[in-house]
Copies of this chain bind each other. A is one copy, B any other.
Amino acid sequence: MTATIKDVAREAKVSVASVSRALNGGGGVTPATAQRIREAAARLRYVPHSAARSLITRRTHTIGALLPDLHGEFFSELIRGIDLEARSHGLHLLVSSSHDGEEDAAAALRAMQGRVDGVVLLSSPHVDAAFLKANLPDGLPIVLLNSDVKNGADAVLNIDNFAGTYAMVRHLVDIGHQRIAFVGGPKDNYDARQREAGFRAAMAKFLPGEPVRVLAGDFGESSGYVAARELLAMKSRPQAVFAANDTMAVGCLQAFKEAGLAVPGDIAVAGFDDIPIARYVTPSLSTVRVRIAELGKNAMELLADLMDRPGLSAASVHTLGCDIVVRESCGAHRGGATITTTKKIRRTSNR
């Protein structure tokens, strides 16, 4: 059916070994014969059988991306970043998305066994060190995204949630706000916890005397709405609300609109993520932007690095900075200024 290396060898009147050498560039072949071989291969439309090659080289030239049940921009940008970088390394991308629950993720991870040379795994709450130990074939390079597992064995790449919230609080303080409330995210969510920690640290630093107001939320729009209504009922109403994600911030805007409050006139609002909607709501939402495609790209770079040097200890922690995007809702709109908290990736090897 399709041409094999033997056909090319016959066509070029050499042995299969020479064909392999000529096509893989290993050297040990005369320029003249190499040329003849390439021509023969082209004539027969020969393309190496990747399974046969993998069988002996033990490399698939494929990396796997294991993602939880994600939607929209985050998903697409992440894949885009990973894919682009993977391609530039000559690697293919095997995607397994929409995993809900530990069982599901474990099955997907096992199914990738032997089909990939490395894995980028975006954590869900149940993906912890024990999970990895149980389901990860050892020796398989892996990069963990947004994970709090520190098992001293794997490479971890995180969004700098802490620095992002910290910088946003600093900005809010800079433009004159003092009574700042925070709407948190799910308790089992790593990002949410980090963001809250950043908020608390910044408050302690910039407004030491001020009481710290943290409301519960779950990243959903309605939880932002509910939190906003709680704020409205407070005796001394905050001057600004900082929601742990944009979706909740949109919920806040809705509640304030209904209550007849002007944003940012009566109360300022800020979010986190810079989802596409952020620039379309009225007033447009000030937020913290995560460069997601860059996150994917960096993860892939990290993974490629790990794959290059087998045996090397992978243990390291990296963080990717965020940008503060100033729009209308925080009360300091000056034409869409963007403040970068961290330009470059920061490596924190833990050994």
Contact = CB atoms under 8 A, between A and B. Distances in A.
A136 to B, nearest CB: 12
- Residue of A1, A73, A97, A112 contacting most chain B CB atoms (<10 Å): A97
Contacts of A176: none
A73 to B, nearest CB: 5
Interface in A28-58: 47-52, 54-55
A137 B55 contact: no
Contacts of A84: 98
Given A55-B55, A71-B76, A92 B96 contact: yes
Nearest to A84: B98
A80 interface: yes
B94 A93 contact: yes
Interface stretch (A156-164, A201-209, A222-230, A275-283): A275-283
Interface string A130-154: 0000000101000000000000000
Q: Which 5 A-B pairs have the closest CB atoms?
A: A51-B54, A75-B76, A51-B51, A51-B55, A95-B95
Contacts of A110: 47
Interface string A86-100: 010000111111100
Given A79-B75, A80-B98, A98-B84, A114 B280 contact: no
Nearest to A76: B75
Interface of A: 1-2, 47-52, 54-55, 60, 62, 70-73, 75-77, 79-80, 83-84, 87, 92-98, 110-115, 137, 139, 250, 276-277, 280-282
Contacts of A111: 92
Given A51-B51, A95-B95, A277-B280, 18 more contacts: A47-B110, A49-B114, A52-B55, A70-B76, A71-B73, A75-B75, A75-B79, A80-B98, A83-B95, A83-B96, A83-B97, A87-B96, A93-B96, A94-B95, A250-B280, A276-B276, A276-B277, A282-B282
A96 B312 CA distance: 29
A48 B75 CA distance: 31
A50 B80 contact: no
B62 A94 contact: yes
A95 B92 CA distance: 8
B71 A83 contact: no
Contacts of A72: 72-73, 76, 276
A85 B282 CA distance: 39
A277 B115 CA distance: 38
Given A49-B55, A280-B250, A92 B115 contact: yes
A92 to B, nearest CB: 6
Contacts of A77: 71
Contacts of A87: 96
A1 B138 CA distance: 10
- Residue from A48, A110, A112, A115 having most chain B Cβ neighbours under 10 A: A115
Most B C-beta atoms less than 10 A away, residue of A2, A48, A60, A139: A2
